[in-house]
Structure 1
Amino acid sequence: MNTLIVTAHPDQTSLTAGIARQILEALRPGEGAVADLAAEGFDPRFGLADRACYRGGGGTPADVVREQLRLDAADHLVLVFPVYWWSMPALLKGWIDRVFINGWAFSIDESGTRRNLGRLTVHLVAVAGDAAGTYERHGYEQALRTQIEHGIVDYVGARRGSVAFVHESEQDDANARQALVEDAVRETVRAVQG
């Protein structure tokens, strides 16, 4: 079983990066890898080459092929990300825009849409600065889950995995924050390992 943990935070010492490392360390040796999009310098911009590829008029850019090959080798994808304006960071959204493309993640033809990633289970770990009550009261958690789980995961035919929110990630109580992190790591690893 292979797990690709994708994170998109510019600070290697961030809580987000730390959670990704803890998930990797909790998996069995050789069972996972971290793709740190910021550290790797992934370009999230959907440019003209991406547009030509999407429309069937050009080859897939080399950096996108590399990401698709990493995903082809994975059974589980774990997205670990800070919540920016009630959604994922632009870097992670750009990675999805460029990598989960027509002809690879899904295919559209005269018979309809084929969802090509049925072998993949996608797990989410959202690092949120606000309280769980705020997310519930305003519907932010459900909106984020609908956008990602229904709008992306379901569309490409992947399986929905675990979803963990680390709320109040910037609180001063380090023990309370660490307990939330440990819960998220444990829940994610349990779901990956079955």
Structure 2
Amino acid sequence: MHALIVVAHPDPRSLTHGVAAHLAEGVALADAGHSLEIADLAAEGFDPRFSAADLGLHLRDEAVPADVAAEQARIDRADALVLVYPVYWWSMPGLLKGWIDRVFTNGWAYDDRSGTGVAKLLGRLPVHLVGLGGADAGTYARHGYFGAMKTQIDHGIFNYCGAPVVTSELLLEAGPDNVAAHLKAARAIGCGLFGSRQ
């Protein structure tokens, strides 16, 4: 089994990167036969800007841009997709959202043809979401942020493509006092990624 872990944070020393690394350790602990790839969107310089070429692809007038095709190939090789990201303004960072905007294209992630409805094309791809938020659970509950994030990300993006969201985890109060607990939680998510536990 092969996991693609996508991380979106500009600082490689961040807790977000630490969580991604510990999640990867968990995948390796669960079964030495599992493989994984970590896609560090910031370090790789992925361009999240939705351009005229991306719009042309959406409208089926243009070919797939090379950088988008490379990301789609990465996902096609994966048996599970894991997104690890800090929560910015009660959602994912623009870098990760732009990656989704550009990579999850009409004709590859879903097929929207006039008059025939939308075909969901990513039913084979389990998705695991791991967000890191600075606020506490009470803040998320009080303002409805838990539900809002699930609606826009879990349902609005991945359900639209048919990709089942298996894990939707928010590691909250992501300050220095909770680093050890968050890294432990990340390792546990990795261990259970393919249904086995260490």
Q: Match of 2:24?
A: 24
- If asked which structure has higher relative contact order (CA below 8 Å, sep 6+), I would say 2
Question: What is the deviation of 1:192?
Answer: 3.2
> Identity rate of aligned residues, in percent?
50
26-35 or 76-85: bigger deviation: 26-35
Matched residues, number: 191
2:86 to 71, 74, 82: 82
Residue correspondence of structure 1 range 14-163 to structure 2 within 5 A: 14-28=14-28, 29=32, 30-109=34-113, 110-163=115-168
Q: In the aligned structure 2, how far is the partner of 1:91 from the partner of 1:145?
A: 19
TM-score (norm 1): 0.94
Question: What is the deviation of 1:127?
Answer: 0.5
Q: In the aligned structure 2, how far is the partner of 1:15 from the partner of 1:192?
A: 24
- Kept in 2, the 8 Å contact 1:166–1:181? The answer is no
Q: In the aligned structure 1, how far is the partner of 2:195 from the partner of 2:56?
A: 39
Q: In the aligned structure 2, how far is the partner of 1:191 from the partner of 1:20?
A: 13
TM-score (norm 2): 0.92
Stretches of 4+ moved more than 6 A in 1?
Answer: none
Unaligned runs of 5+ in 2: none
- Kept in 1, the 8 Å contact 2:24–2:190? The answer is no
Q: In the aligned structure 2, how far is the partner of 1:131 from the partner of 1:86?
A: 12
- Kept in 1, the 8 Å contact 2:58–2:105? The answer is yes
Unaligned runs of 5+ in 1: none
Q: Match of 1:187?
A: 189
